[in-house]
């Protein structure tokens, strides 16, 4: 059987827990979990900033639930990671310097105006849907099990933001703000699919069913008909093999701990109380 066929024939969920992994695969899985968790965690933080100041009280409440969902997903992912590394979920979340965070560049940017928040949510939620669809078939049972549930919650987020994209796009002023926000965010959004260190190990073990480069193509292919329908520019082109590749240079580095200065400010604020009495119960 050739190397390429491996990904397709791995039966799903054959790895019951950390004890089924060798050290190198474990380390690679830890990188994957940290990336997934930090994406959700940091996005949840920015989104929770809208709580109390949303454009309308009803939307404020809806948006806050979504922010809480993301923090909840991050918490569950940190717990999976805790089972791997022995560090508690709260310590993972609060006891790291800003350079220790692994979220993609998209999530390191601040929330901006409503159009930027919506545009980021839409790019993130569609990318996440692609990622989750693949990872639901992960051979690592705890991850497949958790992400199956996460996916059911994320489906509603996507529905909500798909509606918002359309509402914004239906109006000249809304469309102007939306397209400006999308333009600004594309390079950083592509970082969601930057290959992870040790990714090949994860693919070989069936933990990550397909490499991130392939997932990026799937994501762009899913967006293409929607962006065409909405007459929004999609910075990607379809190759002769049918695969989509981006036409803008990605802004990378998030997975290595490089972030926008906005994230340093956020990190400072979010660890402010924790740092007052490190290790204490709160």
Partner 1 sequence: MQVYEIFKQEREGEAMKHAGNLRAPDDALALHYAKEFYSRRGESIRLWVVPRATIAEITDPDLLKPPLDRSYRVPAGYKINEKLDEARRRVRAAAEARAGARREAAGTVTGDR
Partner 2 sequence: MATEVLHQTDQGEAERRAAFFAHIAAGGKVEATDWMPDDYRRQVLKFVEMHANSELMGVLPEREWILRAPTLKRKLALTAKVQDEVGHAQLLYRVAEDLGKSREEMWRDLLAGKTKFHNVFHYPTETWGDVGIIAWLIDAAAIVAQQALRGSSYGPYARTMQKICWEESVHIMHGRDIVLTLVNGTPKQRAMVQDALDRWWAPIMQMHGFRTPPEKDKDLAWRIKAKSNEELRQEFLAIYVPRILEIGLTIPDPELRYDEEAKRWRYTEPDWDELTRVVTGHGPKSAERLQFRQIHYADTAWVRDVILGEGPGALAAD
Among the listed residues 76, 83, 77, 79, the one whose alpha carbon sits nearest the alpha carbon of residue 19: 83
Q: Which stretch binds partner 1 (CB under 8 A): 15-23, 60-68, 192-200, 251-259?
A: 60-68
Residues listed for the chain: 282
Q: Which is nearer to partner 1, 124 or 161 (CB)?
A: 161
61 is a site residue for partner 1 (CB under 8 A): yes
First to last CA, the chain: 54
Q: Which does 134 bind (CB under 5 to 8 A by kind): partner 1, partner 2, none?
A: none
Buried b (16+ CB within 10 A) or exposed e, 205-214: bbbbbbbbeb
Residues in 64-103 that interact with partner 1 by CB under 8 A: 65
What percentage of the chain's residues is helix, strand, coil (to nearest 5)?
70, 5, 30
Q: Which residue in the block uniquely carries the two structure tokens 């049918």?
A: 242
Query: What are the two backbone dihedrals, phi and then psi, of residue 20, each rounded to the nearest 5 degrees?
Result: -85, 5
Residues in 155-174 that interact with partner 1 by CB under 8 A: 159-160, 163, 167
114 is a site residue for partner 2 (CB under 8 A): yes
C-alpha separations of 53 from 49, 145, 156, 162 in Å: 8, 35, 22, 21
Query: Can you tell me which of 11, 23, 53, 239 binds partner 2, judged by CB under 8 A?
Result: 53
Q: Which does 75 bind (CB under 5 to 8 A by kind): partner 1, partner 2, none?
A: partner 2
- Distance of alpha carbon 71 from alpha carbon 160, whole angstroms: 18
179 is a site residue for partner 2 (CB under 8 A): no
Write out the residues near partner 2 by the rule CB under 8 A.
Answer: 45, 48-49, 51-58, 60-61, 64-65, 67-68, 71-72, 74-75, 78, 89-90, 93-94, 113-114, 167-168, 171, 173-174, 177, 266, 269-270, 272-274, 276-277, 280-282
């Amino acid at each position: 059987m050739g190397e390429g066929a491996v990904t397709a024939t791995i039966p799903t969920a054959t790895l019951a827990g950390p004890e089924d992994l060798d050290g190198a695969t474990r380390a690679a899985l830890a990188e994957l979990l940290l990336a997934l968790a930090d994406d959700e965690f940091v996005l949840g933080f920015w989104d929770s900033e809208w709580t109390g100041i949303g454009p309308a009280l009803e939307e404020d409440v809806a948006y806050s639930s979504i922010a809480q969902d993301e923090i909840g997903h991050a918490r569950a992912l940190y717990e999976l990671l805790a089972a791997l590394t022995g560090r508690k979920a709260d310590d993972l979340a609060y006891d790291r310097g800003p350079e220790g965070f692994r979220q993609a560049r998209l999530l390191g940017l601040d929330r901006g105006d409503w159009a930027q928040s919506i545009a980021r949510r839409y790019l993130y939620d569609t990318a996440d849907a692609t990622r989750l669809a693949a990872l639901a078939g992960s051979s690592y049972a705890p991850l497949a099990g958790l992400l199956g549930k996460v996916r059911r919650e994320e489906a509603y987020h996507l529905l909500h933001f798909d509606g918002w994209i359309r509402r914004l796009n239906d109006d000249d002023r809304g469309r102007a703000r939306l397209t400006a926000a999308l333009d600004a965010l594309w390079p950083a959004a592509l970082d969601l699919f930057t290959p992870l260190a040790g990714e090949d190990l994860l693919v070989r073990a069936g933990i990550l069913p397909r490499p991130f480069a392939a997932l990026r193509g799937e994501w762009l292919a899913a967006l293409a008909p929607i962006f065409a329908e909405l007459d929004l520019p999609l910075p990607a082109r379809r190759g002769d093999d049918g695969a989509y590749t981006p036409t803008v240079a990605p802004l990378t580095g998030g997975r290595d701990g490089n972030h926008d200065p906005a994230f340093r400010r956020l990190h400072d604020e979010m660890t402010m109380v924790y740092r007052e009495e490190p290790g204490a119960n709160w």
